[in-house]
């Protein structure tokens, strides 16, 4: 099997927008695994995971609106969880299945938590990768320092060097994996330079640093009643150790696995992490 690129039209407050997604495995397989990326990333982050798991699951990896090949929104203030969740509901309907397993990194993990907290939700099992219902203000300030900026680079190699700098918490990626992130994380500009593959407006909610506050979604977490696994990078500033432990004690009482040598967020690209995901989904 190999990857197929598909799309659908999502509807937001100011019109329709195209959402691109990447599908791996047997299109007739009703065991669907949704893999949803972090705030400034794309669905292609999951290529390594999807290629490995497509023998058992139909793996679907969307580019959330404003990222990758999906349309940018006409009004920047529309970027937010209500629109993202509506798009994911439309995608699940497009896939014509009753249930999905969900692997979400950072923003994608919050989307999974929010969906799994809804009545009559389609989430069978939930894996939240280095994110939880409490995110400290300091972590948001760090993310705000680079998400939504619009740097330009002379070539893809220079952008890769930038990625290696800001994504040190991703841990020990191979040269091929860094190159993969850069290949699918850039867009070519009219003047020949290279930019990041997202709409800078996705960072607008983080612009007003004075207004940033801790995120507290514990009531949402407490409404989740699905088998849940929380992965935490041992050096993460987004999911602190105390929050992770609380996540194992309330709400869905998640299984918790900490990964040494990673911050925010474990990239789910190496064989060990991929098998961890496979074994948990199977269990």
User: 230 has which bridge partners?
Assistant: 128, 256
Residue 157 lies in a domain: no
Number of domains the chain is built from:
1
Residue 162 lies in a domain: no
**Cα angle for residues 105, 238, 72 (degrees, 5° grid):** 50
Instruction: Provide the pLDDT for residue 57.
Output: 98
User: 4 has which bridge partners?
Assistant: 23
Q: Which residues of 90-102 are buried (b: 16+ CB within 10 A; e: fewer)?
A: ebbeebebeebbb
For 191-215, the pLDDT digits (tens) are: 999 999 999 999 887 777 677 788 8
Model confidence at 151, pLDDT cuts 50, 70, 90, reads: very high
Residue 107 lies in a domain: yes
Interval 149-172 mean pLDDT:
94
For 169-184, the pLDDT digits (tens) are: 999 899 999 999 999 9
User: Domain range holding 276?
Assistant: 4-148+198-282
Q: Provide the CATH number for the domain around residue 215.
A: 3.40.50.1820
CB atoms closer than 10 angstroms to residue 219: 10
Residue 131 lies in a domain: yes
User: 33 has which bridge partners?
Assistant: 59, 101
Residue 118 lies in a domain: yes
Residue 66 lies in a domain: yes
Whether the per-residue pLDDT at 143 is higher than 90: the answer is no
Whether the per-residue pLDDT at 264 is higher than 70: the answer is yes
This model's pTM is above 0.85? yes
For 37-69, the pLDDT digits (tens) are: 999 999 999 999 999 999 999 999 999 999 999
176's tokens: 């091929």
When the pLDDT of each residue in the chain is averaged and rounded to a whole number, the result is 95
60's tokens: 């679907």
67's tokens: 């990222």
Interval 214-221 mean pLDDT:
94
Residue 45 lies in a domain: yes
Residue 186 lies in a domain: no
Instruction: Provide the pLDDT for residue 209.
Output: 66
Interval 275-280 mean pLDDT:
98
81-95 and 107-116 helices, crossing angle to 10°: 70
Quote the CA–CA distance of 41 and 107 in Å, as a whole number. Answer: 10
């Amino acid at each position: 099997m190999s990857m197929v690129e598909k799309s659908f039209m999502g509807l937001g407050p100011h019109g329709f927008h195209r959402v691109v997604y990447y599908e791996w495995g047997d299109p007739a397989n009703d065991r669907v695994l949704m893999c949803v990326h972090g705030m400034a990333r794309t669905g292609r982050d999951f290529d390594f995971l999807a290629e490995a798991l497509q023998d058992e699951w139909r793996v679907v990896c969307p580019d959330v609106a404003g990222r990758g090949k999906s349309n940018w929104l006409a009004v920047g203030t529309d970027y937010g969880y209500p629109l993202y969740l509506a798009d994911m509901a439309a995608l699940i309907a497009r896939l014509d299945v009753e249930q999905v397993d969900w692997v979400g990194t950072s923003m994608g993990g919050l989307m999974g938590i929010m969906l799994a907290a809804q009545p009559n939700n389609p989430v069978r099992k939930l894996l939240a990768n280095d994110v939880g219902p409490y995110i400290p203000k300091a972590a948001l300030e760090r993310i705000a320092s680079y998400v939504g900026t619009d740097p330009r680079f002379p070539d893809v190699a220079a952008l890769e060097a930038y990625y290696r700098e800001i994504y040190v918490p991703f841990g020990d990626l191979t040269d091929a994996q860094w190159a993969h992130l850069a290949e699918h994380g850039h867009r070519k500009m009219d003047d020949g330079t290279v930019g990041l593959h997202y709409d800078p407006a996705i960072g607008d909610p983080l612009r007003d640093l004075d207004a940033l506050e801790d995120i507290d979604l514990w009531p949402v977490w407490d409404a989740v009643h699905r088998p849940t696994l929380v992965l935490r990078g041992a050096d993460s500033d987004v999911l602190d150790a105390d929050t992770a432990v609380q996540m194992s004690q309330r709400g869905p009482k998640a299984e918790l696995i900490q990964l040494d040598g990673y911050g925010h967020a474990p990239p789910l690209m190496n064989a060990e992490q991929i098998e961890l995901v496979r074994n948990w989904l199977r269990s």
